[in-house]
Amino acid sequence: MDEKIGKLTAIYETIEQQVDQLQKKTCVSCIANCGACCKRFEPYISVLEAVPLAKYLRDNPQKHELYKKNVKRNKEKWYACPFYDDEKHCTVYPIRPLICRLFGFSANRDRYNKVTFSTCSKIEQEMPEKVKVARALTRRGLDVPIYQDIAQQIQEIDFDMATDYHPFSRSVQIAVDNYDSIMSGEFNTTKTSGNFSELLRRKIRTGDFL
């Protein structure tokens, strides 16, 4: 499993390099002190992406307790990422999952192989001219992260775990609860995969996943 996490980390590092290049060439960036994407909804992530987060929580008991309090808060009041801090923002930035890396700074490939730069509404509103430049450069072949391509790369690491999708906190909990069996290679997604994961796998296998 360590080898698989190493491959996941390598993919993350490539994304960082691509986003860095994109920002340098277009000056597209997150809005200062925004954090809206961390506070508005709970994204789905795979159990594979949650493994580094589970390790972090196991290695930091106090952080784990705070995380559990934040998860409980979310259920009772409103959603904000359990790892989000109003002052520090993302407290697990180096190991944040794929959606957090791609949101606002990636492209989508449609069924006709057309690649289109996609950003968040706030960036679009605040810096429309820079976004236009990013879209133009993407059309001309700028090396930006393409969601479908990266998703496929991650699925090649461990298809079952990479397609075992749940709401963020649920995937983290699965990874925490099953950490030892995951690391030993004994974990089986049969007991954790729901209808969404099965539908996703069918779409991937039939070539209908975009």
pTM score > 0.85 for this model?
yes
Give the DSSP H/E element, type plus range, for residue 11. helix 2-26
Domain positions in the chain: 2-205
For residue 26, what pLDDT is reported? Answer: 95
pLDDT attached to residue 49: 98
> Can you say whether the dihedral through the CA atoms of 148, 18, 156, 51 is positive or negative?
negative
Give the per-residue pLDDT at 209.
Answer: 64
Q: Which residues of the chain have pLDDT under 70?
A: 209-210
Give the relative orientation of helices 128-139 and 2-26 as an angle to the nearest 10 degrees.
120
Q: Are 165 and 151 in contact (CB under 8 A)?
A: no
95-133 pLDDT tens trace:
999 999 999 999 999 888 899 999 999 999 999 999 999
What helix, strand, coil percent values describe the chain, rounded to 5?
Answer: 60, 10, 30
